[in-house]
Amino acid sequence: MKKIKSIRTKIILVFSMTFFILLLLLLLLNKFFLDDFYIKSNSNNMIKASREFETEYKPEAFQEQIAELVKRTGGDVFLFPEELFPVRAASGRHNKPPVKLEHLKIIRDKAVQSAEEGHLEILGSGDIEDQRIIYARAMADGQLVLIVKRMGLVSEATGMFYSFMLLTSIAVYLVGIIISFIIAKGVSKPIIKMKETTYKMADLQFDEKLIVRSYDEVGELMNSVNQMADALSEAIHALKVSNHQLTRELSKEKSLEKMRRRFVSDVSHELKNPISLILGYADGLVQKIPKSEEAKEEYYSIIVDEASRMHTLVKDLLDLSGYESGTFTIDMEPFIVNELIDNALERLHFMTDNKTVRIDYDTHRQYVLTADRLRTSQIIINLLSNAFKHVNDNGTIKIELSKQTQGLKILIANTGVLIPDKELDQIWNSFYQIDTENRGNGLGLAIVKSIVKLHEGSYRAYTQNGYNCFEIIL
């Protein structure tokens, strides 16, 4: 058997079956219980009407009262004296009593015994059309009120009513189907909308929200679906962010691994030359190749220079490794930046190499910075060292300090050969050097970058108005 999948169809079928069963039950009740209901209703009406007749009875107006009793009960009314003969009054339609005197006496005795309710019985054959309802009430003055109503009218009314009910039931059933369709459409519409929305949620589409127009169980369910969509959207967004971060971490890990290999290769290359020179000149001394004292002094000087260079390289490598490892901690304290610049200028002045260099620096205004004093000093020394190495003869080194919204900006610029635009970002990498004319290990700017990152600051290099500019903000 094929299953019904549409909730709208199910609702229509349920309503249709309910209407059909209720209408069928109504027809069956009318068919089998209408006669009994008719008799019961008429008996209650006769009891009530006869009781009021007795209460309001007036001998001088009993004819009008009997007419009113006929009107209220719809039957023939007879009023008998205490001796039951002759008939004192009748409704006018039938003057002859409906029962014989002997039977009438029995009815009167039973009515006297049931003084409050009176006596009710059905006379006639088994055919309902020949039957009559007889009700008798014994009044306090001894008179007997007898009400007779033919049951033939019931059969005719029942048939007409049953036919009418059958026709109206068909009409009501058709109207009920239409109503059930409208109700099913209204009830199923939000459910169908929820189904469509959940299908979209299954495809990870959470933009569309259900519009809640009711506060019943369906409205609460729609609210729950909206809340679930928000929760899933947030969870998936968080998952995407985590995946993105994981991808970045993996990419960073690969990049670090690549950088480590290149770093080892560069370090090996950088250490190879001084070690080779030291070994070569030391072996020359052992072999007593230099004969004169001047030649020996030259050998000694070369060995000392290369050893000093190697010492500086190893120190810078250890510093850079500590900064990039993420385990290095900085000691924040307030200090005057100008003092660090003045000290660095004194230490690096020998690097002019007989070049004429002008220092453009305003020493009048003092600036206080909260940072790691020792590492900030290392930043300034490395940037100034880089500027002294590459400034041209009769050139200018410019130093500027200024307050920014992000912090204190330190700008160190020098004239000379301008850095190509394509290399401005690469000069911050370890061992990267634009030229080899100026001796260096290519780690100075990489150390500056690492220290600035530890302070969560920013750095950049650019060329402007004939200057190579190096700018950091702490």
Task: Find the CATH number of the domain harbouring 390.
Answer: 3.30.565.10
Domain's final residue, options 159, 175, 209: 159
Strand 467-473 with 408-415, pairing: antiparallel
Strand partners, 407: none
Q: Is residue 367 part of a domain?
A: yes
- Pairwise CA distance, residues 222 & 216, whole Å: 10
Instruction: Give the containing element (helix H, strand E) for 18.
Output: helix 7-55
Reference 356, options 316, 304, 391; nearest CA is 391
Q: Is residue 389 part of a domain?
A: yes
Q: Is residue 82 part of a domain?
A: yes
Query: In which residue are the tokens 């495809």 written?
Result: 203
- Pairwise CA distance, residues 18 & 172, whole Å: 12
Please, are residues 104 and 127 in contact by the beta-carbon 8 Å criterion?
no
Token pair belonging to 40: 């019961």
- Burial (0-12, 13-18, 19+ Cβ within 10 Å), 456: exposed
Q: Is residue 41 part of a domain?
A: yes
Strands (E), 139-210: 144-150
In the prediction, which pLDDT does 14 show?
76
Residues 222/224/228/231 CA torsion (nearest 10 deg): 120
> Would you report the helix, strand and coil content of the chain in percent, each value rounded to 5?
60, 15, 25
In the prediction, which pLDDT does 411 show?
92
- Per run of 10 residues, the mean pLDDT along the chain (length 474 residues) is 60 75 77 75 87 86 85 86 78 69 87 85 67 86 86 65 74 78 72 69 67 66 72 77 80 66 64 72 77 78 75 67 65 88 79 78 87 84 85 89 88 90 79 58 76 85 90 90
Number of domains into which the chain is organized: 2
Segments forming the whole domain that contains residue 117: 7-159
Q: Is residue 259 part of a domain?
A: no
CATH number, domain containing residue 72: 3.30.450.20
In the prediction, which pLDDT does 436 show?
45
**For residue 414, what is the DSSP state?**
E
Q: Is residue 214 part of a domain?
A: no
Contacts of 415 (CB under 8 A, 6+ apart): 391, 392, 395, 396, 397, 466, 467, 468
- Pairwise CA distance, residues 152 & 33, whole Å: 16
| Chain center to CA of 107 | 82
